[in-house]
Chains A and B, each alone.
Chain A
Amino acid sequence: MTEIRRDKWETASGLPLKPFYTSDDVPQWHREKIDAAPGGAPFHRGAFPQGYRTKPWRIFQLIGFGKPEDENERIKFLLEQGATGFIMEHDRNTADHLYDVDNPEVVARHEDVGLTGAVMQSVRDTEICLDGIPIESRFGHAGGGVVQHAPFALAAYWTVARRRNIDFSILAGTGQSDFFLTYLGCVNKQQIPTGPGLRLNADIMEFCDRHLPKWVPVSIAGYNGADTGLNAYQELGALFANLVEYLDEIKRRDSMPIERAAKACGGVSFRLAMDLFEEASKMRAARLMWGDLLGRRYGITDDRIRSGLRIHCVTAGSAMNYSQPLNNIVRGTLMGLAGVLGGIQSLGVSGYDEALSIPSEHAHQMSVRIQQILRHESNAAAVTDPLAGSYYVESLTATLVEKAWEFFEEIQQQGGFLAALDSGWLHARAHENQQADFLAQQNGEKVIVGTTHFRDDVSPFEVDGFIGVSDAFDVAMERLKEVRRTRDSARAGKALRDLETVCRGDDNIMPAMMEALDAEATLGEIGDVYRTCFGDWDRPAITQR
């Protein structure tokens, strides 16, 4: 064991820390904001004064594995346990790449199928996955974290709603189509370039604006940047750099009022990592930056929009350790607490077996229990923005805002967020932080209990990791054949040709995507249209070497 040696006192992002703080440490520009009440400018204190008293955070866990019926069962289980929404995970092999299971790339790894999410190749699979779940009254995340998958995942969910005669005007839920996941954290074998990706996201925003007023069309997930290595202020700066790409695109199209576009982009997610006060302050900084940016750059004066940032958080997967996995229950609690203290609206706590496998039923249940203990036992949710006025937290909030805007400007100098992804500039920032983190562990500057130090484990509890579902591939193959055999093939063929025409032009792709799903076109067939029309992203070398 390396000796514990701490001579540098700083936050996880490397911001230097004093032994204690006084009012002099809060910069003048921020000091005048401290006494503002939640609900109004400058917005960092929260969307409204009552906070969690009238609107508790959503217990929102990622769920998915195996066959659609396996995922369905786990969603129902978690809703029974007290989850107040659900996030559908799709099988990465098929969904992220828009491959059907009979694609040679998938067949070659058939045992992997269903390990990280259910296989949903046509709307029939999504119907099985959502069977018996009242989507008209539950807030659902349709999946589609990866940009090219989002239109399919959303159209599948909405088609299920339409087949159940649910009015689109009441359907609430969220999409994702996250650039951080797609182009930074998880660089897949095949992916449409960032330009067409931006187009698809703007199309989804417009479609929701016209037809699904309660749906969150896209959700920028700083989480995926942070868990790839971006630090707290880089995560903030990059998230806002991403946001302006979306809003500038909508402005360029002039297809919806900028206020409504801002509202559409206002559901975001951040990562919660182990630095308690830095993470809580990050949420306050995010709300302040959001209100400021909308006013300054887009001239939005409506305080309901400027105070309307809705934050979902996930506790850092990378903070969950392989050794002594029960310690991760404590880590999940601390990270969740940071989010609650920071006033977030929605939370997912990673499973304690995160580093071992996808969550077992027990780990999933514990994630919900942690959230319930935070909400009902800790009393942390009784008062809005409970850290306000702390010299330390106010100073940290202000510093994060300053550093995040600097990073935002650096990205602009790279040509903007998309350019910084295309060139690999952002990947390099993440990569250098990862290396520094490992070096700190090696030097004994960073302690991870049970991993770098205190490695004796006397726990009687063995955690063996989830085994998976062995028939996911075979069942998916049967269902693929079935859908191709029994659908109206003329209608499906026409829908795919129409989709291709739209993809090659400028019209919104979502109406054609809705028809393709209702005509029971498959994931791989839609992927083939994309591959023909949009081509493949030229990945930054850093992710490949």
Chain B
Amino acid sequence: MTNIDARILIAKTGLDGHWRGSSLVARALRDAGFEVIMLGMAKVDEIVQAAVDEDVDLLGLSIGGHYNVVERIVDTMRQTRPELPIFVGGVVPPWARKKLEAKDVEVYPPGSQLEEIVGAARRLTGVDA
């Protein structure tokens, strides 16, 4: 494994403790050589703050709640660090997926393959550029 010079922050947006999805994704990203910071269940301002403090190259949100919370995170993030790419996974209804994609957020719903997600991380962090 070659280390990749890029850091990814992964946070859970809701108070739902199902950890299977985010932990699998984190593991796959680490195995691919990324540095992954797991924030766990965090509030909107905590997620934005961590993304700034840790100077990450990509933000991954595990959605365990309503679209509107994710929208607030995305909108705040765009004001704070507009260039930071964001991708999300979890239970995202199709109507919410459309709204997120319109905001340039990539969505990886259940059934997404880990290699797809790792590929997206490489592309979004510019590793493949």
Contacts and interface: CB of A to CB of B under 8 A. Distances in A.
Interface of A: 92-93, 96-97, 105-106, 108-109, 111-112, 115-116, 185-189, 228-229, 318, 321-323, 355-357, 430-431, 434-435, 438, 441-442, 448, 451-452, 462-468, 542-545
A528 to B, nearest CB: 17
Contacts of A355: 91, 109-111
A463 B94 contact: yes
A452 B28 CA distance: 18
DSSP class of B's interface residues: helix, strand, loop or mixed? mixed
Interface stretch (B36-44, B51-59, B80-88, B121-129): B36-44
Query: What 7 A-B pairs come out closest when comparing CB atoms?
Result: A465-B93, A112-B65, A111-B68, A188-B17, A108-B43, A451-B111, A111-B66
Nearest to B90: A355
B65 A115 contact: yes
30 contacts: A93-B65, A96-B15, A96-B16, A105-B15, A108-B43, A108-B44, A108-B45, A111-B65, A112-B65, A112-B69, A115-B66, A188-B15, A188-B17, A188-B41, A189-B40, A189-B41, A318-B110, A322-B109, A322-B111, A355-B109, A438-B24, A448-B111, A451-B111, A452-B113, A463-B94, A543-B19, A544-B19, A544-B40, A545-B26, A545-B38
Given A356-B93, A438-B113, A93 B17 contact: no
Contacts of B27: 431, 435
B13 A109 contact: yes
Nearest to A434: B24
A186 B38 contact: no
A323 B111 contact: yes
Contacts of B65: 93, 109, 111-112, 115
A465 B96 contact: yes
Contact of B23 (A441, A465, A545): A545
Nearest to A441: B113
Given A435-B24, A465-B93, A545-B23, A93 B14 contact: yes
Contacts of A105: 15, 43
Interface in B71-114: 91-96, 109-111, 113-114
A228 B17 CA distance: 12
A105 B42 CA distance: 9
B43 A116 contact: no
A187 B16 contact: no
A318 B40 CA distance: 21
A186 B22 CA distance: 12
Contacts of A466: 93
A442 B115 contact: yes
B17 A96 contact: yes
Nearest to B27: A435
A455 B40 CA distance: 33
B92 to A, nearest CB: 8
Given A109-B65, A355-B110, A434-B24, A186 B91 contact: no
Nearest to B116: A442
A111 B113 contact: no
Contacts of A356: 91-94, 109
Contacts of B94: 356, 462-465
A186 B69 CA distance: 20
Contacts of A544: 19, 38, 40
Nearest to B96: A465
Contacts of A448: 111
A228 B23 contact: no
Nearest to B43: A108
Most chain-A Cβ atoms within 10 A of its Cβ — which of B44, B64, B91?
Answer: B91
Contacts of A467: 93, 95
Contacts of B92: 356
A435 B111 CA distance: 14
Given A112-B66, A355-B109, A448-B111, 5 more contacts: A112-B15, A321-B110, A323-B111, A356-B91, A442-B115
B93 A185 contact: no
Given A323-B111, A467-B93, A92 B15 contact: yes
Nearest to A438: B114
B17 A322 contact: no
Nearest to A112: B65
A221 to B, nearest CB: 14
Interface string B18-33: 1110011011100000
Nearest to A227: B20
B36 to A, nearest CB: 8
